[in-house]
Amino acid sequence: MPFYEYINDEAPGCEHCKQTFSVLQRLSDPPLEHCPECLAAVRRIISSPNVVAGQSHRLKESNIEKAGFTQYKKIGKGVYEKTAGKGPGVISAD
């Protein structure tokens, strides 16, 4: 389900609709016509999609520890080896 953005173009309105606000709706749902809080007229606006291409969204190993994460790589059945971050060097299911 996508998020749709709405805005109030008219002078009267509440704090919720004076700026853009987002609503999670099904594709089959009709667009909102009124603010859910104050019933002022609103219109749906076109916003840019959030697209992630390739592996650019993945955190590089050099930054994992700075972000407070620990990364492990599977080296055997139930055995994981630390590749970055804090924590034990090896985790085993034993």
Question: Smallest Cα–Cα separation from 44: which of 30, 54, 56, 58?
Answer: 30
- Per-residue pLDDT of the chain (94 residues), as tens digits, is 688 899 987 778 888 888 889 888 888 999 999 888 888 899 998 777 777 676 665 667 777 888 888 888 889 888 999 888 888 888 887 7
Is the Cβ–Cβ distance between 84 and 71 less than 8 Å? yes
Quick one: how far is CA 16 from the chain centroid? Answer: 21
Say if CB 3 and CB 24 are below 8 A apart.
yes
The residue ranges of every structural domain in the chain are 3-45, 61-92
Backbone φ/ψ region at 67: left (φ over 0), alpha (ψ -120 to 50), beta: alpha
